[in-house]
Amino acid sequence: MSVLTRIFAVLAVTLSPVSAQDLTPAATVALDARNSGKPTTAQKWMISTANPIAAQIGADILRQGGTAADAMVAVQATLGLLEPQSSGLGGGAFLVWYDGATGKVTTLDGRETAPLAATPTLFQDENGEPLKFFDAVVGGRSVGTPGTPMLMAQAHKKWGNQPWPDLLAPAKSLAADGFTVSPRMAESVSADLERLSRFPATAAYFLPKGTAIKSGDTLKNQPYAETLSALQSGGPTAFYTGKIAQNIVATVHTAAGNPGVLSLVDLAIYKVKTRAPVCVNYRGFDVCGMGPPSSGALTVGQILKLIEPFDIAALGPENPETWRIIGDASRLAFADRGRYMADSDFVPVPTKGLIDPKYLATRSALLRTDKALEKPTAGDPSFDHSFNWADDESIELPSTSHFSIVDSYGNALSMTTTVENRFGSRLMSGGFILNNEMTDFSFRTNTDGKPIANALAPGKRPRSSMSPTIVLKDDKPVLVIGSPGGSRIIGFTAQTIIAHLDWGMDIQAAIDMPRMVNRWGKYELEATGTTEKFQAPLESMGYKVEIKPINSGLHGIAIGDTLTGGADPRREGIAIGE
C-alpha cells in the first residue's frame, strides 16, 4: 500500500482543487491526511464529500449544531455549482438515513421519473432499432423529471433543525460572487467541448467567448443564485411550478435537433418516495441500502452473501483466488440484476427472493471451483408474482457524486446524487444542468418477445446502480459509504466494505486500494502499477483482463470509539470532523 499511497499523493497534489487561502485550517489538515493515506479522526461529527469547499460548508453547518440533513442541503446546493458535471438541482438522488434517536433506517427515493408523454420506443429509430447512446443523451429527449430539490426539502423537513434559507445561502453567495474553477471541473469541460458547445446557454457558461474555462478561473453563475433565491423564499414549490419549471420545460422542448417531452404537469406531480431499506446480514453486520428502483443494495448484498461462505479474511487481498471468488460473485449478482431489477412500482421485483439465504447458498455453491465461471446466467429466485423477463440492455456511464455525513446527534446520512452522464443532457436552465437519466432505461422493450423489466414507461423511474450504504452492528451504524461510477458503483462499494470488514483496513486505506471490478466477464484492474501482478493469474483462471484508469469517488465514515473519515484521492474531496 505504500507504493499506492505515494502514487495517490502525487495525484492529489496534481489535482489540488483550490488555493491554500480557500481552505480553513481544518480543511488543510484533512487534505494533508488524505494525501498521506491517513483517515481524518474526530469525536463529535464528520463529513466526507467530493469537493473541499462543499465539505467546509457542510462542516460549518454541523459545527453550528445542524443535523446531517441540514448539512446535506448545503452540500448538495454547493456541489451543483462546483461540480455540475456530476450532480445538481436538475438531477436525482438516493438517500439512506440512520436516525440516532429511534435507531431506524429510512431511505428516500429522489430518482427522476419518465415524463407522462414518454413512449416505450422513445429511444428507438424509425426501424425500431436502439439509438446510438449519445444521439439519445444530448438534448431534451433524455431529460427526466428532476428529484433532487424535492429530496433536499423533504429530508430537511423530516430531520433538519436549521432554517432552510440559511442552508442555501453559502452556495448562493458563491454563485453570485464567484468561485474558483477546480481542475476536475475544467478537465470535464475540456473533454466534452463539442457536446457542450451545441446549446447557447451551456456554451456561454462553460465556453465564454468560445474558450473553455480553465482551472483557477473565477466563474460566476447569477442564474443559479437566482434559482437558489427562489428556493429560499418558496421552497420546492418554487422549483416545480412557476418560472423555474416553465424555463426547464421550454429548454427541453426547444433543444435543437433532439427535443424532449417533459411537461409542467410532470414537474407539478413529482413526489419523493419513502421506501423500506434493503438489508442483508454479512458476518454479523447489517448492510443496508437503497432498494428498487436502485439495484445497489440488492446487488451489493448478493455479492457479500455469495462470498460469505468463503474465508475471504484468511485469503487476503493479495491472493488471486480472492478476486476469482469476488469477481464471479459479482457476475452472478449482475446476471440477476440484468434480469429482475427495475422500478418495483411498475414491475414485480423478487426483492425477498433475491436475498433469500437458501437461494444465495445455491448460487454461492457455483463458486466452489478454481476457474472462472463460463457464462453466469440469472438464477430462479422465488417471486411474489411470476413473470418471464428478458435481460436488460441499458447503458450506464460514470459520473455522479457521493457524500457521507455523521452529526453530533448520532444521525448518519449516505447520499449518492447524479445527473447521470457527465454534464447530463448538456442542457442548462436556471444555472444548473438538466439530467439525461432517461437513458438509464433499456432502449429495447423486449428480446424475442420477452419484456425487459427496465423498459421505459410513463412515470417510471429508471433502474440505477447508486449504492448509498449504511452498515450496522447491533443496530448501531459502523460504516457510511458510497461512490459514483456508473454500474461500477456496485463493485466499488462492495470492495470497500470487504476491505474494511474482512481485511481490517481503516476507511482511508479501504478507499485508496486499487479498484478491481468484474461485472459481465472482463476483469477491469485499475492502472496503478500495483495491479499488473494479478493479470496472469486471473487470465490463467479464464478471465479476460483489462488494465485501465478507473475513477471511483468513494467517500466514507467509519464509526467506533472515534469517527474516522476517508475521501477518494481520485477526486478532489476531503473528510472534515471535530
Residue 388 lies in a domain: no
> How confident is the model over 169-221, as pLDDT tens digits?
999 999 999 999 999 999 999 999 999 999 999 999 999 999 999 999 999 99
> How confident is the model over 268-311, as pLDDT tens digits?
999 999 999 999 999 999 999 999 999 999 999 999 999 999 99
Q: What is the mean pLDDT of the chain?
A: 93
pLDDT of res. 31: 80
* Residue 9 scores a pLDDT above 90: no
pLDDT of res. 11: 37
Bond before 115 cis per omega within 30 degrees: no
Residue 405 lies in a domain: yes
Residue 279 lies in a domain: no
Residue 287 lies in a domain: no
- Cβ distance 396 to 437 under 8 Å? no
pLDDT of res. 391: 61
Residue 294 lies in a domain: no
> How confident is the model over 96-146, as pLDDT tens digits?
999 999 999 999 999 999 999 999 999 999 999 999 999 999 999 999 999
Residue type for 318, please? E
Q: What percent of the chain lies above the pLDDT cut of 70?
A: 93
Coil, strand, or helix at residue 196?
Answer: helix
CA–CA separation, 151 and 409 (whole Å): 21
Domain that holds residue 103: 2-274+394-577
Residue 499 lies in a domain: yes
Half-sphere exposure of 56 (CA within 13 A, CB side): 19
Specify the range with the lowest mean pLDDT, choosing from 106-110, 395-399, 574-578.
Answer: 395-399
CA–CA separation, 92 and 113 (whole Å): 9
- Cβ distance 389 to 453 under 8 Å? yes
Task: Report the pLDDT averaged over residues 72-100.
Answer: 98
Question: How many domains are contained in the chain?
Answer: 1
- Cβ distance 69 to 156 under 8 Å? yes
CA–CA separation, 361 and 375 (whole Å): 19
Question: Which residue would you say has higher pLDDT here, 7 or 330?
Answer: 330
Cα distances (angstroms) measured from residue 219 to each of 176, 222, 228, 311, 432 = 9, 10, 17, 52, 14
Q: Is 299 a catalytic residue?
A: no
- Cβ distance 323 to 516 under 8 Å? yes
> How confident is the model over 520-541, as pLDDT tens digits?
999 999 999 999 999 999 999 9
pLDDT of res. 25: 78
- Cβ distance 469 to 289 under 8 Å? yes
Task: Report the pLDDT averaged over residues 143-153.
Answer: 98
Task: Report the pLDDT averaged over residues 319-325.
Answer: 98
pLDDT of res. 387: 55
Specify the range with the lowest mean pLDDT, choosing from 19-23, 163-167, 303-307, 428-432.
Answer: 19-23
Q: What SS3 string covers 313-341?
A: HHHCCCCHHHHHHHHHHHHHHHHHHHHHC
Buried b (16+ CB within 10 A) or exposed e, 214-224: ebeeebebebb
> How confident is the model over 438-484, as pLDDT tens digits?
999 999 998 888 899 999 999 999 999 999 999 999 999 999 999 99
Which of 405, 139, 115, 390 lies closest to 259 in space, CA to CA? 139
* Residue 500 scores a pLDDT above 70: yes
- Cβ distance 400 to 553 under 8 Å? yes
Q: What percent of the chain lies above the pLDDT cut of 90?
A: 88
> How confident is the model over 154-165, as pLDDT tens digits?
999 999 999 999
Annotated catalytic residue, options 49, 202, 400, 493: 400
Coil, strand, or helix at residue 412?
Answer: strand
* The dihedral sign for the CA sequence 192, 193, 195, 201: positive
Residue 535 is part of a domain; what is its CATH number? 3.60.20.40
* Residue 7 scores a pLDDT above 80: no
CA–CA separation, 487 and 550 (whole Å): 12
Residue 438 lies in a domain: yes
* Residue 13 scores a pLDDT above 60: no
Residue 311 lies in a domain: no
> How confident is the model over 343-392, as pLDDT tens digits?
999 999 999 999 999 999 999 999 999 999 999 999 999 875 545 555 65
H helix and E strand count, the chain? 22, 23
Task: Report the pLDDT averaged over residues 40-54.
Answer: 97
